[in-house]
Structure 1
Amino acid sequence: MAKSLQEQLLGAGVVDKKKANKIKAEKLQTKQKQKKGQLDNSAEEARQAELKRQKEEKAARDKELNLKRQAEIEYKAILGQIRQIIIQNRVEKEDGEIAYNFTDEKKVKKLYVSEKMHKDLSEGRLAIAKLEGQYEIVPKGIAEKVQEKEPDMILVLNTSSKAEEVDEDDPYAEFQIPDDLMW
């Protein structure tokens, strides 16, 4: 015949009969209070509230992490689109002896191009984009599309200077700088 745990502990001498009866009485009282609804559940409620709070915090962290991952995925997709646009629409570089100077990360770089390309770059019909460490020449429309999505990829996109207003008090106003001035 199977003995209860209480009987086994009594038999082994771990617990005496007096202590076993006291524990049994406390158990009975808590059961009766639970039935009547008199039991103080504040400790249990506090524990449940803490578990609920922890679950909500974890859900918020998971949501934030998922949003961050989603943003990274979207950014990589945009970069892929930009790369494809630049590769499909790049203008073949015409090797020339004229150096076109521009800046890339605070460094002055030179790109040797033909006279026609130099003029188009200066007037804003062409732009220089940086793609995977290489400089690509693209048309103005493509450069504007790329610049909307990722402004750091377009290094040079000149705008026409004809729209600039001339200061009336400027003593050199009548001496215009020629467009073909090279430095």
Structure 2
Amino acid sequence: MLITMAMAMLGMVLGASHTVGAPAGSWDLQTNYTLWASRTRFTIGDELQFQYSTTMHNVVEVRKAGYDSCNSSNPIATFLTGNDVVPLAAIGTRYFICSVPGHCAAGMKAQVNVKSKAVRTVQRCRGTGKRLRCRSETVLSSATTAGTDQSAVAQLGLAVVAAGLVLFF
């Protein structure tokens, strides 16, 4: 049990899990996936989780042309479980559609831009006109900006494993 808990904590350090459409939706016809993806920073090591009814939908990963035309005839991957987990292992853009006729055209498609975990510099400005004051700020990956202190989680996970081993032996 302790090892499972430690592995879960380690997973939080390594990458974030993004439920597609959350918090207000899922993989459905009501969610605006362009808006959802624009509010999320996806980095290497993260994963996408598609949750949907298997009797109503599916998930097909396609290339940009398939995404733009809602054509799933040449898929990269097809997912059918209703609780599909897709690891984001490389930098680049990934494209997902529902291949049920009419669903993609109705907006059931998501474009995910995967970035490096490296820190980035953001310029923040305040004021107006000639009184505009700007400063640069370092921003970390998605898990850190979500309020998770990655080093603290890693240390806690190691402490739990160590305590478990001491108690076990």
TM-score, normalised on structure 1? 0.24
Bigger strand share: 2
TM-score, normalised on structure 2? 0.26
Bigger helix share: 1
